[in-house]
Every structure is written in structure tokens, then in C-alpha cells.
Amino acid sequence: MEKRVIKKDALAGIVQKLAEDTLVYAPVQEEDQVLFKALKQGMAPLIDFANAKNAPKNFFFPQTETMLKFFRSERGRELSEVVEGSPEAILFGVRPCDARSFVLLDAVFNDPTYKDPYYIERREKTTIVSLGCVNPPYTTCFCTSVGGHPLSSEGADVMLTEMEEGYLAEFLTEKGEKLLARLGDLSAADQGLDEKKKEISAAAEGKIKSHIPGKEIKPWLDENFEHPFWDTIHKSCLACGTCTYLCPTCHCFDITDEVKGDGGQRIRSWDSCMSWLFTMETSGHNPRPSQKERWRQRLMHKFRYFVDRYGAIACVGCGRCVMYCPVNIDIRKIVTDISKQ
């Protein structure tokens, strides 16, 4: 694995330069929010930031996209699949929890038996540059409780770790090495920096303040689908869906056909298991008739069903749902309360 050191005051400029001829998504300040956006010419990315409000999943799984178009011709009804060629892109400044979310989304969208060409096209063309959390940014971060780490490189093509000497840049994959070739002369990283990284890594782990028994609750979930515990956790939920839309691992979608005249298009849009309409059947029957069943589904999907299917918890501990739920429902508390049942 190639390793280099990037001077601290040079990093923003390097990313800005890459954006001159490549699509670069990076965290930028917009009013009082940090958001991942495509860098426009001359725009500098944020280097010193906590995390973006929006999870970067939308670059691979957009809020809405056209899957196919249909029209009537002399030959009858015709379909044309739309898998738009996407450009090579760089996604810069991804925190390790969000980079890990791509590995979980890959399991869903790039499953051996079901391959999603829309997602795969964008994912394969994008190089992920991850920025380690030397100082985990929020008291709500709990990545270490769900299989992650503030300096995890899982899901990253290039891993940047801030040190006194600059950013230690580790080029982990073929895509990462291709990017290295575009960066020009950078100082080589000496062996001593590996040792320093180990120390920084242990210190960063120690700075995580939130811990939940994320891996311990599955046996209880397996046995207690009908437990009275589920009767109250949802009581204040407004079903706004914020927790699911901001979540880096939530990936539910709806498919609708929009028809105009003799043609139309099939559109895929984000959906949310928090919504009553999500499971509403044409007959009028709804198998998840109240918010109780919907909240149970959210918890069960992340901490039970996904573990059964893919061997990992479908939560990366980013804390977004905790920070932005308008009624302060806290998934950490729910998991902890389950562990006490």
C-alpha cells in the first residue's frame, strides 16, 4: 500500500485542483449547515468540519431517478432502460462511519443474486477519500458500538489521518492508487508514522463518549417480536421520516410510473418505513397499521434482519437520527432499554 504525507495547508488546494477537471463531491458550508455538494470551479472544500448533515449515499442512490422510459410505437409498447453513464467522480471528506455505510449498501445493491445497475455504475466510478475522526465530532457518535471505528478505513479508497506532520494519506485500493498518480509529488511517509497512527487511533477510540449494546440485543429481538416493549417507544414519533432520509444506511425506495400521453417513465424515489403509506396495499389493508409496527420494523431491520442477511448491523453510529429527530427519539436509548429487558 502506498503512503504519503500531505501538508495541512495544501489539502484544500489539492482537492480544488482535482475539481477543475473531475466531478468532486465534498463538504461545503451552506448558511449554518455543512452539506456534501459537487464542488463548482474555484470552490474550496471544508477540511475542518464535524460531519455533513446529509449522508453522502445520495451520490450513488439519489433521492429520485428515472429507471426506464416507455412509449407506444408502431411495433406496440416499447421500453428503454435508462442507465446513464456517470462520470468518474471523487467523493472527498467522507467520515469513516459514512464510508462504512457504502459497504453495507453494496451488500444490498450489489448482491450476487440482484445487481442494481444504477447504483453500481455510480459506485464503481467514484473514488472515496475518507477523513478519519481523530477527534470524533459529536457526543452522539457511537460507531465503535456497531462495528466501526473513528479511524476505520472500511469503504475508503484513500484514507487521510491528521497528524502533526500533516495528513497521512493511505492509498488502499486500485482506485486510490489511480488518484495518487494524479496528485504529483508528495512526501513519502516513513514507518514512524504507522506507530503514531496506532496511538492516534487508540486515543480517538477513547474519545467516543456514546456506547450502546448494539451487538448484544439480537437474541432478544429474535424472540420478542410481540413483546409489550414495542407498545410505547413510538408514542412521540411524528412519522416525519427525517431519521430514515438522513440515515446513511437506510435504502428503502418506491417505484412509480409517470404517464404522459403515449409515453412515460418509471421513477425510483426514496421512501421511508416510518410512513403509513410505505406498506399500504391496494386493497386498503396495511400490515403495519400504526407507528408501533413501523418503529419496530426500523429497529428490527437494522439490528436483526440485516444481521441475519448480511452479517452486520445496518447502523454505522453516525448519530444523525439522534441529532435531527424533532421529538428527540434516541435510537441509543431504545437499544440500551432493550438490553435491560
CA–CA distance, 275 with 288 (Å, rounded to integer): 10
Task: Select the span of 16-24, 39-47, 70-78, 325-333 touching ligand SF4 (CB under 6 A).
Answer: 325-333
Least separation in angstroms between CB 247 and ligand SF4: 3
| Sheet arrangement for strand 76-81 | 76-81, 64-73, 263-270, 253-260
Would you say 241 and 294 are in contact if contact means Cβ atoms under 8 Å apart? no
For cell 409496527, the residue is 293
Comparison of 134 and 240: residue with beta carbon closer to ligand SF4: 240
Among 67, 183, 240, 267, binds ligand SF4 (CB under 6 A): 240
Among 67, 120, 183, 239, binds ligand SF4 (CB under 6 A): 239
Q: Is 329 in the site for ligand SF4 (CB under 6 A)?
A: yes
Backbone angles phi, psi at 295, to 5 degrees: -70, -40
Q: Is 327 in the site for ligand SF4 (CB under 6 A)?
A: yes
CA–CA distance, 67 with 84 (Å, rounded to integer): 9
Q: Is 13 in the site for ligand SF4 (CB under 6 A)?
A: no
Q: Is 243 in the site for ligand SF4 (CB under 6 A)?
A: yes
Task: Select the span of 36-44, 123-131, 174-182, 241-249 touching ligand SF4 (CB under 6 A).
Answer: 241-249
For cell 502506498, the residue is 2
Among 28, 315, 335, 338, binds ligand SF4 (CB under 6 A): 315
What SS3 string covers 5-18? EECHHHHHHHHHHH
Q: Is 145 in the site for ligand SF4 (CB under 6 A)?
A: no
Question: How many residues make contact with ligand SF4 (CB under 6 A)?
Answer: 25
Using a 10 angstrom Cβ sphere, with 0-12 exposed, 13-18 middle and 19 or more buried, the burial of residue 249 is: buried
The one-letter amino acid at 231:
D
Among 51, 54, 152, 242, binds ligand SF4 (CB under 6 A): 242
Q: Is 326 in the site for ligand SF4 (CB under 6 A)?
A: yes
Q: Is 252 in the site for ligand SF4 (CB under 6 A)?
A: no
Comparison of 19 and 242: residue with beta carbon closer to ligand SF4: 242
Comparison of 197 and 291: residue with beta carbon closer to ligand SF4: 291
| Per-residue contact flags (x/-) with ligand SF4 for residues 259 to 298, judged by CB under 6 A | ---------------x------------------------
CA–CA distance, 116 with 249 (Å, rounded to integer): 16
Strand ranges for 1-82 from DSSP E: 2-6, 23-30, 33-38, 64-73, 76-81
Least separation in angstroms between CB 94 and ligand SF4: 14
Q: How far is CA 156 from the centre of its chain?
A: 12
Collapsing DSSP to helix, strand or coil, 139 comes out as coil
Interface residue list for ligand SF4 (CB under 6 A): 237-243, 246-249, 274, 302, 315-321, 325-327, 329, 331
